[in-house]
Amino acid sequence: MILTVTLNAALDITYHVPRLQPHTTHRVGEVVERPGGKGLNVARVLAALGHDTVATGLVGGRTGEALRAHLAAAAPGVVDALVPVGGETRRTIAVVDGESGDATMFNEPGPTVSAQEWAHFQDAYRELLIDAHVVALCGSLPPGLPVGSYAELVRTARSAGVHVLLDTSGEPLRRGIAARPDVIKPNAEELARLTGLTEPLRAAHEARRRGAYAVVASNGPQGLLAVTDEGTWRAAPPARFEGNPTGAGDAAVAGLLSALVEGLPWPERLARAAALSAATVLAPAAGEFDGAAYERLLPQIDTLP
């Protein structure tokens, strides 16, 4: 099975308002809630592709309960192995302006996790790794967790012989890379911040030098760049798509993992990731992917060395 880890899961709430006007009162017409956090998004896409998928991470409080109920309803194929904590799972509020279609985001910080809760999670994680072929470690860290937490989880996975993909940013990414993950999937901006190099190919080589076995960098509509010990490839969709990029990066992670467990070579992994990513931008609901668009786009992805 494929394991995804979401340490700072969220309940994503979307408010639709006619027009956002600071310092006024808005009556919200429609309230939409969905399970959020990058690892949960990855798990939903994997389950939709038909993979055995287990989602772990940390959840707590009433918001955590709401998140689990939404996850069970929206992604019944995902096995919920989330670990409870005493704090309250964070909410993210996206206020979507009917005039411009733009979103204004308010992200709560998330629960403060104690050392004991972290030790308890690591026990659960070790158990789950026994049946895992691959694990994806995704998103930000909640308050209270040491910045080296992902590095610990990378080391545990590698000791257990489980292939590990790390998708985070900032200092947790920097520390995580030093623990030698099999794949990292930064976007071009995160990669530049990590390495100080703005040219993606040079930056990817630098990230490999620092410990990542493979680097898959996403660069919005320009597609994906993979720098691996087997070679370098670029995968780009046939056209630029208009749509909502929310979750496109998570769909790419799901594509990489899905193709990996099927034993496909790098160019096909990358093509699947790029097609799923584009099919997510095209889907009407944020974070979903359009299955028909995925099937249509997959053979159209140009994967070049």
Residues lying near a second copy in the complex (CB under 8 A) are found at 15, 17, 20-29, 31, 62-63, 65-66, 93, 95, 97, 100, 102-109
Q: Which is nearer to a second copy, 22 or 161 (CB)?
A: 22
Three-state SS annotation for 256-279: HHHHHHCCCCHHHHHHHHHHHHHH
> Is 248 strand, coil or helix?
helix
Closest alpha carbon to 75 in 101, 94, 54 = 54
> Is 159 strand, coil or helix?
helix
Name the CA radius of gyration of the chain, rounded. 19
Q: Which is nearer to a second copy, 246 or 303 (CB)?
A: 246
Q: Minimum distance between the CB of residue 17 and a second copy, rounded to whole angstroms?
A: 7
Q: Which is nearer to a second copy, 30 or 229 (CB)?
A: 30
State which H helix or E strand residue 34 sits in. Answer: strand 30-36
d(Cα 183, Cα 194) in Å, to the nearest integer? 15
> Residues 219, 221, 224, CA angle at the centre, nearest 5°?
45
Q: Minimum distance between the CB of residue 48 and a second copy, rounded to whole angstroms?
A: 26
d(Cα 218, Cα 222) in Å, to the nearest integer? 8
Question: Which DSSP category does 187 fall into?
Answer: B
Q: Which is nearer to a second copy, 26 or 155 (CB)?
A: 26
Cα–Cα distances in angstroms (integers) from residue 175 to residues 67, 126, 194, in the given order: 29, 20, 10
Q: Which is nearer to a second copy, 105 or 130 (CB)?
A: 105
Q: Minimum distance between the CB of residue 142 and a second copy, rounded to whole angstroms?
A: 13
Q: Minimum distance between the CB of residue 101 and a second copy, rounded to whole angstroms?
A: 10
Catalytic residue among 12, 80, 250, 290: 250
20 by Cβ neighbours in 10 Å (0-12 / 13-18 / 19+) ranks as middle
Q: Minimum distance between the CB of residue 257 and a second copy, rounded to whole angstroms?
A: 27
Q: Minimum distance between the CB of residue 18 and a second copy, rounded to whole angstroms?
A: 12
d(Cα 64, Cα 117) in Å, to the nearest integer? 15
250 is catalytic: yes
Residues classed as catalytic = 250
